[in-house]
Structure 1
Amino acid sequence: MTINSTNCSDERSATDFLYAIMYVIIFIPGLIANVLALWVFHAYIKETKRAVIFMINLAIADLAQVMSLPLRIFYYLNQDWPFGSFLCMFCFYLKYVNMYASIFFLVCISIRRCLFLIQPFKYNDCKRRYDVYASIIGWVIVGAACLPFPLMRIDTRNNSSHFNSCFTALPVIEIDIPTSIAMVTLAELTGFVLPLIITMICSWKTIMSLREKNPVLQDSGEKKKALKMVLTCTTVFLVCFAPYHITFPFHFMALSGRIEDCATKNIILKFHPVALCLASLNCCLDPIIYYFTTDEFRRRLSRQEINENGIILHLTECSI
């Protein structure tokens, strides 16, 4: 059984226009920034520190989301989906995979930066393959954990070839209250609250570590760069993902009919699209981490990595 009807006023056209405008704004800079990031990291994969593995995966997750935006823009401008149910569900699924993969890799970057500052000699010798293994495990967990999102929105009554509704217009499959509470609570705790706590702890420990005498990071510029990386990860995390996860339980209850008051439901349904657009904005904000915290990235863009003899200047510092 699915739920898709409401007695409250429907302002779908205004919401669709907001989605279309935001995705147009995100698409070009997100595409350029993430393609450029992958190009830079591929060129410097052997010279950079191991945490660049997490940045590469973060850029891949963002690029996958960006590549689906033209289809979303088409749908929200035309309010029609002529591309079939499979592609609709795949793009819908990809949105959440990007979100939670981004959260996972932002946490990994923060942890790696924090561990290096606390015990630089120990974690500087870690093998790169450990980060590769962690990335593979992260993709598997995120991919499996995000499956309920499209499965909960499949309209079992629509078996026709013309699947003209997609994304926010998809109906929600009705489930019992205990199961709903368990699913939402698990999603909030593991997908947002726990990563937020870890990121905040890493930020605090990084700030504390930079106040102490560090035999590896004596240069004030290196200390500022380390602090900037962790704080940038935390800022992107809070700006992009906090609003969505605050509204997510209420939005789920509104769509599933648990909230019946029209005034309350309309407030939730108006704010949730804004939160969802902020979540998509991470595709443009994540490259800020690469540019402002990675020497290779700035050097490659400015072409200062090539000396007079055409030799690439190698990274000499121990941190990203």
Structure 2
Amino acid sequence: MASENLSNCSKPPDFQHTLYAITYTVIFIPGLLANSIAVWVLRNYINKKSKAIIFMINLASADLAHVLSLPLRIYYYINHTWPFGRFLCLLCFYLKYLNMYASIIFLTLISVQRYVFTANPFKAKDWKRRYDVAISVCVWIVVGSACLAFPIYRSSGMTNSTSCFADLGTSKMTGGTTVGMLIAAELSGFIIPLTVITYSTVKTRTQLKINSLEGIKEKGKRKALWMVMMCAFVFIICFTPYHISFFFYVLVGSQAIQNCVAQKIIMDFHPISLCLASFNCCLNPILYFFIASEFQNEMVKHGSSVIRMRLTSRESVSSMSP
């Protein structure tokens, strides 16, 4: 009887399907538009000398890949059935975590690069774009390989072909494997990036204060501070709740936490933390639209050219009219 009551405590909350459906519906349109425009503008209209643009393109691409999978998620959580097959289910599941950890790494890289180039301007001049490309390729290989653990962990639980995502079961793992996976995910995906982003933000702010005391006013360094602060903000809002929740979620799954009330709180909070993690697709574009001055300039130029074309066409039509 006690075992049965405990299993009821660790059941997923009844509201999670509704929560996921609403969250992904809210995210889909703004996330699709913002990241599609970001990829297009960053690839074609940004000055090639701009720093961190390669990392921003990869960040926007990671967000776009996740956003494009959201309609299938929305369909499932509304209809409570999955007619698209095992492969698409696991692919969409994989893209969720690929987006999360790729975003974490690229936000960290943007923060570090902005701090280093702010503190050492000569390094910025000597830095080659191909270095960023090489780093990005390495990130995708490492993160892509590491994130395969998530669909593998859940794939054996796919006993029902019409179930997917939150309704998948989990593979049985030994205590050592569970601890190893938990430590690796928390260290590489949360603690180390959080420490690095925090350090970059504090040091960039300190550098800006030193410049102010010396009477140096550099607009570029102030923008760099806003950028690393935005990276920290996105990380704290989107990824910190999930990684705190994930730690206790794994403990519940391994029966390390036996208290019924604690299990219920953890299981209720877990889907909320996953939804917060998905909002990074809408928050990351703020880096491009409101902080990267080059991005703003190119958007203004593009908008101005469109307006001029429309005015020219109207003038041509009016001149031809009697």
Please give the TM-score of this superposition, normalised by the length of structure 2: 0.87
Q: Is the CA contact (8 Å cut-off) linking 1:17 and 1:76 kept in structure 2? A: yes
C-alpha distance in structure 1 between counterparts of 2:33 and 2:228, whole Å: 24
Superposition pairs of residues 41-56 of structure 1, within 5 angstroms: 41-56=42-57
C-alpha distance in structure 1 between counterparts of 2:231 and 2:166, whole Å: 28
C-alpha distance in structure 1 between counterparts of 2:147 and 2:70, whole Å: 19
Q: Provide the residue aligned with 2:316 in structure 1.
A: none
- The 1:74–1:157 alpha-carbon spacing in structure 2 relative to 1, beyond 3 Å, is closer
Q: Provide the residue aligned with 1:313 in structure 2.
A: none
Q: Provide the residue aligned with 1:317 in structure 2.
A: none
Q: Is the CA contact (8 Å cut-off) linking 1:174 and 1:256 kept in structure 2? A: no
Deviation string 1:161-199 (CA, Å, 9 cap, x unpaired) is x61111111111111112211210111011110011111
Q: Provide the residue aligned with 1:77 in structure 2.
A: 78
1:223 lines up with 2:221 in the alignment: yes
Gaps in structure 2 of 5+ consecutive residues: 1-5, 309-322
C-alpha distance in structure 2 between counterparts of 1:262 and 1:84, whole Å: 35
Q: Provide the residue aligned with 2:253 in structure 1.
A: 255
Secondary structure in 2 aligned to 1:172? coil
C-alpha distance in structure 2 between counterparts of 1:135 and 1:179, whole Å: 29
1:303 lines up with 2:301 in the alignment: yes
Q: Provide the residue aligned with 2:189 in structure 1.
A: 191
Secondary structure in 2 aligned to 1:7? helix
Cα deviation for residue 122 of structure 1 reads 2.0
Which amino acid in structure 2 is aligned with residue 35 of structure 1?
S
Cα deviation for residue 226 of structure 1 reads 1.5
Secondary structure in 2 aligned to 1:50? coil
Q: Is the CA contact (8 Å cut-off) linking 2:42 and 2:57 kept in structure 1? A: yes
| Deviating more after overlay: 175-184 vs 197-206 | 175-184
Deviation string 1:24-77 (CA, Å, 9 cap, x unpaired) is 111111000001101111222443413100000000000000001111111111
Q: Is the CA contact (8 Å cut-off) linking 1:107 and 1:195 kept in structure 2? A: yes
C-alpha distance in structure 2 between counterparts of 1:168 and 1:82, whole Å: 16
1:277 lines up with 2:275 in the alignment: yes
Deviation string 1:178-234 (CA, Å, 9 cap, x unpaired) is 2211210111011110011111110111011112239xx944533321211110011
Superposition pairs of residues 1-320 of structure 1, within 5 angstroms: 6-8=7-9, 10=11, 12-155=13-156, 158=159, 163-213=161-211, 218-303=216-301
Secondary structure in 1 aligned to 2:51? coil
Q: Is the CA contact (8 Å cut-off) linking 1:153 and 1:172 kept in structure 2? A: yes
- The 1:279–1:156 alpha-carbon spacing in structure 2 relative to 1, beyond 3 Å, is closer
Number of aligned positions between the proteins: 299
After superposition, the CA RMSD in angstroms is: 2.2
Please give the TM-score of this superposition, normalised by the length of structure 1: 0.87
Cα deviation for residue 305 of structure 1 reads 8.6
Moved over 6 A (4+): 304-307
- The 1:156–1:285 alpha-carbon spacing in structure 2 relative to 1, beyond 3 Å, is closer
